Structure 1
Amino acid sequence: MTSLVRDIPAAPSAIALMHFSNRLTFETDCSDVYSSQEAGEIDFVLVDVRGPLAFERGHMPGAINIPTRLLTEQGLQGYAKTTLFVVYCAGPHCNGANKAAVKLAALGYPVKEMLGGVTGWLDEGFELSLPHAAGSPVNCAC
């Protein structure tokens, strides 16, 4: 008798290594972003892709607000094509960051999604910048 976990066998180690290594080229996490900021190693642009109201209610320190729908060639012309964008949204319940990553990649920019978004950031115990703290910071209008 086997568990539900073993119903489908695990991939061979070489394939698992390739899979999980490849995932890291697409993703980063809240802790890595925070640690990079704390160390002053900011070689990426952190983009909150939620709507302006959600951004005002609370966002990651150092983030800029570019809602997904505004990620266009014209809107990004001030950024070199080598600029690494790190995008986030409200949290795991929202696919706004994924949609933004698709748009940025289609425009030819390197991009990573910050897993967890605002929810993950708060779960890690990190604080948000709250210029006009009112209401829930997690709302998404991507």
Structure 2
Amino acid sequence: MSHTSSAVLQFPPATAEQSRDYMAAKLRYHADAWDVAEDLRNRIADIVVIDTRSESLYAQAHVPGAINFPHRLMDAQSTAHLDRSKVYVTYCDGIGCNGSTKGAYKLANLGFTVKEMLGGLDFWMRDGQPVAQGSAPGEWAADTPAIECAC
């Protein structure tokens, strides 16, 4: 059977095993807003959420409990206080911003374990997750209802 007329099949698909391995690798690098919200709601102590944007944008709205650590300020000295046993989940504005990628890169380059939150604060708010305001991280309110994942 020829697939020359198919744009999708112009390049043959990977085997099931190759697809499984590739998808597992992607999940090692990323989390989505719902996953992060669930871990915050459940008070998972193994993750630290980092907002890589500027202080002024952080003050306007951020993930409750996220610390503000602009990617431009990350270096060996400024990260010396971070706990290397944690997994750091970085985010920025959204898909049009690469601050979370730059932050994750810098942290990984310094030996930290990282994941990037897909869609940033934009997708977080689209999902209807709560936000905190001001310069303090705030915290996840115990009475915050779970939002059902639609996927």
Could you state the TM-score of these two structures normalised by the residue count of structure 2?
0.82
The letter for the 1-side match of 2:34 is: S
Whichever residue aligns with residue 10 of structure 1, its letter is P
Q: What RMSD over aligned residues (CA atoms) do the two structures have, in Å?
A: 1.5
The aligned amino acid for 2:86 is T
Work out whether 1:19 is the aligned partner of 2:36. Answer: no
Query: Among residues 99, 104, 117, which one is paired with 2:107 in the alignment?
Result: 104
The superposition leaves residues 104-132 of structure 1 with CA deviations (integer Å, 9 ceiling, x where unpaired) of 01100000001110011011111211238
Aligned-partner residue type, residue 97 of structure 1: S
Matched, 1:47 2:50: yes
Q: Does residue 111 of structure 2 align to residue 115 of structure 1?
A: no
Amino acid at match of 1:45: V
SS at match of 2:28: coil
Among the aligned pairs, what percent are the same residue? 34
Work out the CA distance in 1 between the residues paired with 2:82 and 2:102. Answer: 19
Trace 1:1-142 onto structure 2 (pairs within 5 A).
Answer: 2-131=5-134
Q: Which runs of 5+ in 2 are unaligned?
A: 136-151
- Structure 2 counterpart SS, 1:47: strand
The one-letter amino acid paired with 2:91 is Y
Q: Secondary structure at the match of 1:25?
A: helix
Contact 2:49 2:65 in 1 (8 A): yes
Deviation at 1:69, TM superposition (A): 1.0
Structure 1 unaligned segments of length 5 or more: list them.
133-142
Q: Which residue is equivalent to 1:137?
A: none
CA shift at 1:39, angstroms? 1.4
> May I ask how many residue pairs the two structures share in their alignment?
132
TM-aligned CA deviation for residue 59 of structure 1:
0.3
Letter in 1 for 2:107: L
Tell me the residue number matched to 1:138.
Answer: none
Q: Which structure: larger Rg?
A: 2
Q: TM-score, normalised by structure 1?
A: 0.87
